[in-house]
Structure 1
Amino acid sequence: MIEVRNVWKKYGDQVVLERLNLSIAEGEFCSMVGASGCGKSTFLRLLLGQEQATRGEILLDGKPLPAEPDEHRGVVFQRYSVFEHLSVVRNVLLGLELPQAKFTGRLFGARRRAARDEAVAMLERVGLGTALDKYPQQLSGGMQQRLAIAQALVMKPRVLLLDEPFGALDPGIRRDMHELLLGLWRESNLTIFMVTHDLKEGFTLGSRVLVFDKVRVDPQAPGAYGARITYNIPLDHSRDSASSIHAAQAAVEGAARADVIPV
């Protein structure tokens, strides 16, 4: 589904990413881990179309990825990217209204009722069916992140991009969000890319783990080389198995002890 061919990204003289080559099938869940500043979020922005590669290309279904964000790529950030002045249901309904009502920004009559029903159904799926008329400031952090996920998924994207979506949440709430995300992933054919600094989270959720690292360092020219995908680790464990977290832990511990996993 997605092909990344010899992608480089530079900002001026600073090389952030170099020689990225990757092939991802539809429906995969790719966790992206690595040290801060090694280009994970930059790569996510390239996938979103928010930024363009300096060299190389990214293909979607064999065609160049659109140069601007579109409805096929949903995104959820670490900070709750919701509209504070709109109710919960209006936050989700807005995404359905704007593409269909280009001049007024609103739908009317039967079209509006159908769109609202769709928004309500999505909110019920993420556990916000009883909070339709509340405003974001009345919600907890976990509920606001559920709202942000509903905003992204109601547009039926093919690719969901997550930039540390659970980083600001307490551990208990994060576990609930993990279950929610895996449930939504199982129900759909979404392809997911998630940036996380939590290695355990990356191995627990992902069907593939991409490790970013800067393998070449020149003290005299620290910006000369960029980060690469040093490990590309497929995880062969069932999302429905209660032992999946133990398999993930064993995999990451083994990778840490023996640096023998093929790139």
Structure 2
Amino acid sequence: MTEPFIQALNVGKTYGQDRILERVNATVHQGEFITLVGASGCGKSTFLKMILGIEQPSSGELLLNGAPMPNEPGPDRGIVFQQYSVFPHMTVLENVVAAKGFQKASLSGYLFGKEKRQARQEASEILHQVGLGHALTRYPHELSGGMKQRLAIAQAVIGKPKILLLDEPFGALDPGIRADMHALILDVWRQHKLTIFMVTHDLKEGFYLGTRLWVFDKLRHDPHAPNAYGASITYDLPVGATADDLYREIDEQIRPTPIFNHHSELTETP
């Protein structure tokens, strides 16, 4: 067994009096693909932000290769959101080259000469990999939703990150397009040997993609103080090895309706 790549040791996160996460413990090895599910507002995206470095734990430790997770984003961690982040005045190719340029220490991020030619070559290769080889000269307003998401993945991957964070990346896409994106992200994961964390509200998607599924939920509930307790990882399951009754139980937990579960008589999910 290899050394842990990422470790969460009793990680907690609070904002003022609101406790979002508590007692999160997990060990991840390089190359794993983790999907995160849970009711809206249970801290899944907050956990992603802590890995990215734009949020820090309020308690406990989050470690990368045995050292504290850097408290700012770096090229070793790429992220793709549901909302696209592109420059509308740049072509598809120029957007990916710009993403490469922003890794530089300079304020402008501009590339020149041989460095720029190399970046354009890399960007072109990655865009062909994600199925946008025919659209290098198009502008973002000329792209469909699925094409924009392919562009966002190319922007994240050109930095050659070790970790790719996906925050509900396919939630706004039609089912047919989502199936294509599932095949794409699995291909990108294998080809670039990434460690992936993906937040999703779709349990079927969570069980289909990757190697492990985490369920975030609150172990303790106070109906008079709904934010008094934070969520933790209540299930850590290998993908493809879950009984039907457990699948239904988890599916009920992440629906945004009042539900009954084994933790309490009535749980109100936000």
Query: Which whole-Å deviations, capped at 9, do the CAs of 1:12-44 have from their partners, x for residues lacking one?
Result: 001010000000000000000011111111111
Partner of 2:9: 5
- Displacement of 1:214 after TM fit? 1.1
Shift in Å, 1:104 = 4.9
Aligned: 1:225 with 2:229: yes
C-alpha RMSD of matched pairs (Å): 1.6
Asked if structure 2 preserves the Cα contact closer than 8 Å seen for 1:32 and 1:193, the reply is yes
- Give me the whole-angstrom Cα distance separating, in 1, the residues matched to 2:85 and 2:231: 28
Task: Choose the corresponding residue for 1:168, options 169, 172, 180.
Answer: 172
Out of 50, 57, 60, which is 1:53 matched to?
57
Do 2:75 and 2:103's aligned partners in 1 also have CA atoms closer than 8 Å?
no
Letter of the 1:151 counterpart: Q
User: In the alignment, which of 81, 86, 102 is matched to residue 85 of structure 2?
Assistant: 81
Instruction: Tell me the CA shift for residue 130 of structure 1.
Output: 1.0
Identity, in percent, stands at 58
Q: 1: CA distance between counterparts of 2:140 and 2:196?
A: 25
List gaps (5 residues or longer) in structure 1.
236-247
C-alpha distance in structure 1 between counterparts of 2:47 and 2:230, whole Å: 12
**Whole-Å separation in 1 of the counterparts to 2:113 and 2:247:** 59
Residue 74 of structure 1 deviates from its aligned partner by 0.3
Matched-pair contact (CA < 8 Å) for 1:202–1:209: yes
Q: What is the correspondence of 1:36-51 to structure 2 with a 5 Å cutoff? A: 36-51=40-55
User: 1:101·1:107 contact (CA, 8 Å) conserved in 2?
Assistant: no
- Which residue of 2 is the match for residue 154 of structure 1? 158
Q: Distance in 2 between matches of 1:87 and 1:101?
A: 24
Q: Quick one: which amino acid aligns to residue 183 of structure 1?
A: D
Instruction: Summarize the alignment of residues 183-202 of structure 1 with structure 2, pairs less than 5 Å apart.
Output: 183-202=187-206
Does residue 134 (structure 1) correspond to residue 138 (structure 2)? The answer is: yes
Kindly report which structure 2 residues correspond to 1:229-244, keeping only aligned pairs within 5 A, or say none. Answer: 229-235=233-239
Paired amino acid for 1:140: S
User: Which consecutive segments of 4 or more residues in structure 1 shift more than 3 A?
Assistant: 98-101, 256-259
Please tell me whether the aligned partners of residues 186 and 210 of structure 2 are also in contact (alpha carbons under 8 angstroms).
Answer: no
- Aligned partner of 1:251 in structure 2 is 242
Instruction: Provide the C-alpha distance between the structure 2 equivalents of 1:49 and 1:167, rounded to a whole number of angstroms.
Output: 24
Q: Secondary structure at the match of 2:134?
A: coil
Residues matched between the structures, number? 246
Of 173, 180, 184, the residue aligned with 2:184 is 180
Q: 2:45 & 2:218 partners in 1: Cα distance? A: 15
C-alpha separation between the residues in 2 aligned to 1:149 and 1:124? 12
SS for the counterpart of 1:251 is coil
TM-score normalised per structure 2: 0.87
Measured in 2, the distance between the counterparts of 1:193 and 1:27 equals 11
Is 1:145 aligned to residue 136 of structure 2?
A: no
CA distance in 1, matches of 2:31, 2:182: 17
Question: Does the C-alpha gap of structure 1 residues 132 and 153 become closer, same or farther in structure 2, counting only changes over 3 Å?
Answer: same
Tell me which moved more, 95-104 or 250-259: 250-259
Q: 1:107 to 1:258 in 2, by over 3 A?
A: closer
- Provide the residue aligned with 1:67 in structure 2: 71
Instruction: Give the AA of the match of 1:168.
Output: A
- Name the CA distance, whole Å, in 2 between partners of 1:139 and 1:226: 40
Query: Residues 47 and 104 of structure 1: is their aligned pair in 2 closer, same or farther, counting only changes over 3 Å?
Result: closer
User: Is the 2:36–2:214 Cα contact (8 Å) retained in structure 1?
Assistant: yes
Residue identity in the other structure for 2:106: K
Contact 1:76/1:161, CA 8 A, preserved across alignment:
yes
Distance in structure 2 (CA, Å) of the matches to 1:174 and 1:98? 29
Matches of 1:104 and 1:38 in 2, distance apart? 37
TM-score (norm 1): 0.90
Residue identity opposite 2:8 in structure 1: V
1:203 alignment partner in structure 2: 207
Offset of residue 254 of structure 1: 3.9
CA distance in 2, matches of 1:89, 1:27: 28
* Distance in structure 1 (CA, Å) of the matches to 2:224 and 2:123: 55
Distance 1:104 1:168, change over 3 A: closer
**Contact 2:33–2:195 (CA under 8 A) maintained in structure 1:** yes
